[in-house]
Amino acid sequence: MRRNVLAVVFFLAVATGAAAATAPLTIGAAVKAALEHNPAIRSAGAAAQADSANARRAKAFRLPSIDLLQMYDRTNNPAEAFAFQLNQKRFSLQSFAMADPNNPSEMTTWLSSVRLVQPVYTGGKLSARIHQADFMAHAGKLTHSYTEEQVAFDTVTAYTNLAKAREYLDVMRKARDTTAKHVKLAEQYAAQGMIVKAEVLKAKVFLAHMNELVEQASSGADLAEAALNFQMGLNQSVHHRLAPLPPPPPVTEDLQAWIGRALARRRDLGAAKAKLDAGRLEEKVATSGYLPQVALIGRYDLYDNSFAGSHGKSGAIMAVAKLNLFRGGADRAARASARFRTASFESDIHRFEEGIRLQVRQAWQQLLTARARNRTARAALASAREALRVREARFKQGLDKMIDLLDAETQLRQAEVSELVSRYDVALATYSLYFNSGTSIVALETSSEAR
């Protein structure tokens, strides 16, 4: 009994694992895979981390800098030899009196020095640079987030295009099967003398054309799958079994509401505005050139005639102030350059906002058009199906020619394709409206996947 129970448990575990391995790919799972493996996201994430590190680096300049200096000097320069003797605490007045000060012997000096510099006042330059770095770090985070949204949208688009390509392939295969059935029917009628052989030849030519369309549709489906794998960061030859495409998210607000949402939520626009805020501070940085620079400097030195020796010791604390009096107009030019660059970027931001308005408006109109086309296509499809049914009945009764039946087939195929394309266009336009309005595709799809 125990062995039987273990066997059943093992079978269930294997069956569950096999089912999981062959589970169809959902659109949410595709987005999740893209977020994990797409190189564009890793690149944007690394860039955002670099911006954050630059912000920490800018703040570090408020703290004192401490350097260790090691110097070796061997000289017979009179002034230097005299000074080094004093610094080493080896100066002897008696030796100095007996020697020729103008022609001293060569002297070796090792200097070990620790130096500390603490900025006190930089005319606002340091604080401006810190704020600039913070704005750029914020822009980097927004750019990273926008890249995730872009990848998620591109993945949703690729997934939808693959579903559309496969359904189109199914339509072409069914149309080809219908044509093949009609060819066989025509061959039977020709053998019975009910129609001429020319009718059969027309049907066979039409069947050859349908085979060509099926091959083209198959190639299109393969390319669409490669495009999805590309967005997911996978090998492009990986094959997926797709889950049914869920209905597109609801669109209940009017156009102006979507435009307002876009201007408030678009992460790429937010990143651009953060960079503009950083650029506005550049004029303050340039203005600091007119103001004094104040710093405290501390130094502790060890002098000796051997490495790491400490026969002579000394220290100093200094306050240093520097004021720029004249630099040939460079500071004035720097301020003007910063001011004009800011004005240029402000114009770019205004154009950016207008471009976003246009993108949302285009997505909105595409959605309205796709919905209208889909309504018309559904009605045309029902009519085309009925027309083909009537033509088949009339052909069997000898009332219609093969060309009439083939024309009805063509009209049905075109109606099926039109309905298919318009249906998927509704989904693509809806996702485009969500993306261009700054509504999170990542949150939308990951939450749907969790459910």
Q: Which residues is 242 bridged to in the sheet?
A: 25
pLDDT higher than 60, residue 1: no
Q: Is residue 7 part of a domain?
A: no
> Residue 162: pLDDT above 50?
yes
How do residues 199-215 score in pLDDT, each as one tens digit?
A: 778 878 888 988 998 99
Inter-residue contact 48 to 141 (CB < 8 Å): yes
**What pLDDT score was predicted for residue 381?**
79
Distance CA 189, CA 291 (A): 102
CA distance 406 to 416: 15
Structural domain contains residue 15? no
Name the band, by pLDDT with cuts 50, 70 and 90, for residue 448: low
The reported pLDDT for the residue numbered 407 is 72
Q: Are 434 and 366 in contact (CB under 8 A)?
A: no
For residue 344, give both structure tokens: 């240029």
Residue 371 has pLDDT above 70, yes or no: yes
Q: Check residue 112 and give its pLDDT.
A: 95
State the chain's maximal CA–CA distance in angstroms.
Answer: 141
pLDDT attached to residue 386? 81
Assigned domain for 10 exists: no
Tell me the average pLDDT across 393-409: 71
Q: Does position 129 have pLDDT exceeding 90, yes or no? A: yes
6: in domain: no
Percent of the chain with pLDDT over 70: 91
Q: Is the confidence at residue 267, as pLDDT, over 90? A: yes
Residue 191 is assigned to a structural domain of this protein:
yes
Residue showing tokens 């009537």: 390
Q: Does residue 9 lie in a domain region?
A: no
Q: Which of 321, 302, 322 is nearest to 312 (CA)?
A: 302
Please report the pLDDT score of residue 17 as a whole number.
42
One-character DSSP codes across 244-267? PPPPPPP--S-HHHHHHHHHHH-H
Give the model's pLDDT for residue 403.
67
Question: What does DSSP assign to residue 234?
Answer: S
- Number of alpha carbons in the 13 Å side-chain half-sphere of residue 152: 24
Per residue in 305-359, pLDDT tens? 999 889 999 999 999 999 999 888 998 999 999 999 999 999 999 999 999 999 9
Q: What is the pTM of this model?
A: 0.82
In one letter, which amino acid is 347? S
For the domain that residue 50 is a member of, what is the CATH number? 1.20.1600.10
- Please report whether residue 347 resides in a domain: yes
Give yes or no for residue 284 having a pLDDT over 90. yes
pLDDT of residue 8: 43
Mean pLDDT computed over 362-368: 96
pLDDT on residue 308: 86
Confidence of residue 186 (pLDDT cuts 50, 70, 90): confident
Neighbours of 420 (CB within 10 A): 18
Total number of domains constituting the chain: 1
Three-state SS for the chain is CHHHHHHHHHHHHHHHHHHHHCCCECHHHHHHHHHHHCHHHHHHHHHHHHHHHHHHHHHHCCCCEEEEEEEEEEECCHHHHHHHHHHCCCCCHHHHHHCCCCCCCCEEEEEEEEEEEEEEECCCHHHHHHHHHHHHHHHHHHHHHHHHHHHHHHHHHHHHHHHHHHHHHHHHHHHHHHHHHHHHHHHHHHHCCCCCHHHHHHHHHHHHHHHHHHHHHHHHHHHHHHHHHHHHCCCCCCCCCECCCCCCCCCCCCHHHHHHHHHHHCHHHHHHHHHHHHHHCHHHHHHHHHCCEEEEEEEEEEEECCCCCCCEEEEEEEEEEECCCCCCCHHHHHHHHHHHHHHHHHHHHHHHHHHHHHHHHHHHHHHHHHHHHHHHHHHHHHHHHHHHHHHHHHHHCCCCCHHHHHHHHHHHHHHHHHHHHHHHHHHHHHHHHHHHCCCCHHHHHHHHHHC
In a domain, 128, yes or no: yes
* pLDDT, position 293: 94
> Is residue 101 exposed (0-12), middle (13-18) or buried (19+ Cβ within 10 Å)?
exposed
Q: With bands split at pLDDT 50, 70 and 90, how would you rate the model's confidence at 259?
A: very high
CA-CA distance, 405 to 288, in Å (whole number)? 85
pLDDT tens string 146-157:
999 999 999 999
427, 363 Cβ separation under 8 angstroms: no
SS3 214: helix
pLDDT, residue 342, reads 94
| Structural domain containing residue 404 | 22-446
Query: Residue 297: exposed, middle, or buried by beta-carbon count in 10 A (0-12, 13-18, 19+)?
Result: middle
Output the CA torsion 218→223→226→232 (10° steps). -110
